């Protein structure tokens, strides 16, 4: 009896399991099952922006060089040192320059003596000419000698002035007050100024005011204007947003591989000196902004039904959103305004706050259905 009872229980359990598998395999979606993803219409603020990248630089950046060649003998400043106008930054070895100056001064003294002798000679020969002891041609030759001596004196004097200036140039001084942000020389290094002036230091005048050199595409340049507000971030402080304003839109275009861009300069306050020269700024130009407007997600404007049947009206032209009515997407014509990339302003249209719009259609998952057939033997 116990064996018969156990077989009966096993048969009942097997039938129950087959019934459950058959029911799940042939289950059909209910009419009320969600097929579309929707979002409620609300009111809020929209800020339309243009994105661009730029580089932070000091407003005034002076490259300090040298007009003469020589070897660096003394170095008085280093990176990040504050300097005043006229402060000595470095000195070149003045030995050769001093020797050249002494030689020029000696030549000047010789030329001055020769000028005095020529002048005295002319005075004596003029007296002799009055007494008809020399000819006019001889007197003209002596006058010419005086002019030559006078010219040589001027040349020697100019040479002395030049050599003194070169000696002064061996002492490199700061042309402005600011801070050293770059130093390209060391003691013992030789600098040559034969063809172009070598850059020894870079001095920023005031890091409390910075500027951003921004590259803007030609498609966006028409929406920018002077004093336009900008917001930007830098990679070093991603949790902080900085503000600035457009101060110049330069007319000279930059063309690279048929891509036209324009350079826009924005001014930024940097009182706490958080921003450093060379940082990359991720910029958003504020083009338009509106507060407390009727807005819809941009996905609602992009949505189109995957299929159109007789119960769904044809898609109208222009901007369209869809509401779910009687289980079917119903199109609604709307007039849109500004957008921030996530939401778009609705200016006109039969949509109201609190109503739901379709964002996308949820794809039906194809479930394998097992058709179980029983045969009675």
* pLDDT tens track for 162-191: 999 999 999 999 999 999 999 999 999 999
Check residue 22 and give its pLDDT. Answer: 58
Partners of residue 188 on adjacent β-strands = none
| Alpha helices for 190-347 (secondary structure H) | 218-221, 298-302
Q: What pLDDT score does 28 carry?
A: 47
Q: Which two tokens stand for residue 96?
A: 């050769």
User: Nearest Cα to 333, choosing from 315, 306, 345, 310?
Assistant: 315
Binning the chain into helix, strand and coil, the percentages to the nearest 5 are 25, 40, 30
Pick from 160, 162, 161, 152: nearest CA to 111: 152
- Judge if pTM exceeds 0.75: no
| Per-position b or e across 150-162, b if 16+ CB within 10 A of its CB | eebbeebbebbee
* Mean model confidence pLDDT for the chain: 85
Helix (H) / strand (E) containing 157: helix 136-169
pLDDT band for position 316 (cuts 50, 70, 90):
low
| Domains of the chain from N-terminus onward | 36-47+293-361 (2.40.420.20), 50-59+210-290 (2.40.30.170), 61-202 (2.40.50.100)
pLDDT at 127: 84
Q: How far is CA 70 from CA 13, 74, 166, 167, 293, in A?
A: 103, 12, 11, 11, 69
Answer whether 163's CB lies under 8 Å from 106's CB.
no
> What is d(CA 357, CA 368) in angstroms, rounded to the nearest whole number?
32
Least confidently predicted of 86-90, 133-137, 338-342: 133-137
């Amino acid at each position: 009896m116990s064996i018969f009872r156990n077989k009966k229980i096993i048969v009942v359990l097997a039938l129950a399991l087959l019934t459950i598998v058959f029911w799940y395999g042939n289950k059909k979606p209910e009419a009320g099952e969600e097929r579309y993803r929707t979002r409620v219409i609300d009111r809020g603020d929209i800020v339309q922006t243009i994105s661009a990248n730029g580089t932070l630089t000091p407003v005034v950046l002076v490259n300090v060089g040298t007009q003469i060649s020589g070897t660096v003998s003394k170095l008085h400043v280093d990176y990040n040192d504050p300097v005043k106008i006229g402060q000595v930054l470095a000195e070149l070895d003045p030995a050769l320059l001093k020797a050249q100056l002494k030689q020029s001064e000696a030549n000047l003294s010789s030329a001055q003596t020769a000028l005095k002798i020529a002048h005295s000679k002319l005075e004596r020969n003029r007296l002799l000419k009055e007494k008809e002891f020399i000819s006019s041609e001889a007197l003209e030759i002596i006058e010419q000698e005086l002019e030559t001596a006078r010219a040589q004196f001027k040349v020697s004097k100019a040479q002395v002035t030049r050599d003194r200036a070169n000696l002064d140039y061996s002492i490199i001084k700061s042309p402005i007050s600011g801070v050293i942000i770059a130093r390209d020389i060391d003691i013992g290094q030789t600098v040559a100024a034969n063809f172009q002036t070598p850059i020894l230091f870079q001095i920023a005048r005031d890091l409390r005011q910075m500027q951003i050199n921004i590259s803007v595409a030609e498609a966006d340049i028409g929406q920018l204007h002077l004093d336009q507000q900008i917001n930007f971030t830098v990679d070093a402080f991603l949790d902080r947003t900085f503000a600035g304003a457009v101060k110049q839109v330069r007319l000279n275009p930059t063309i690279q591989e048929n891509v036209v861009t324009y350079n826009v300069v924005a001014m930024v306050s940097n009182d706490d000196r958080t921003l450093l020269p060379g940082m990359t700024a991720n910029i958003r130009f504020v083009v338009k902004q509106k507060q407390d407007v009727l807005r819809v997600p941009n996905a609602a404007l992009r949505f189109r039904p995957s299929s159109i049947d007789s119960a769904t009206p044809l898609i109208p032209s222009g901007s369209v959103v869809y509401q779910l009515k009687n289980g079917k997407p119903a199109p609604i014509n709307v007039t849109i305004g500004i957008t921030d990339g996530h939401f778009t302003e609705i200016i006109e249209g039969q949509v109201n706050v609190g109503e739901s719009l379709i964002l996308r259609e949820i794809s039906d998952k194809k479930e394998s259905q097992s058709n179980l057939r029983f045969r009675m033997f």
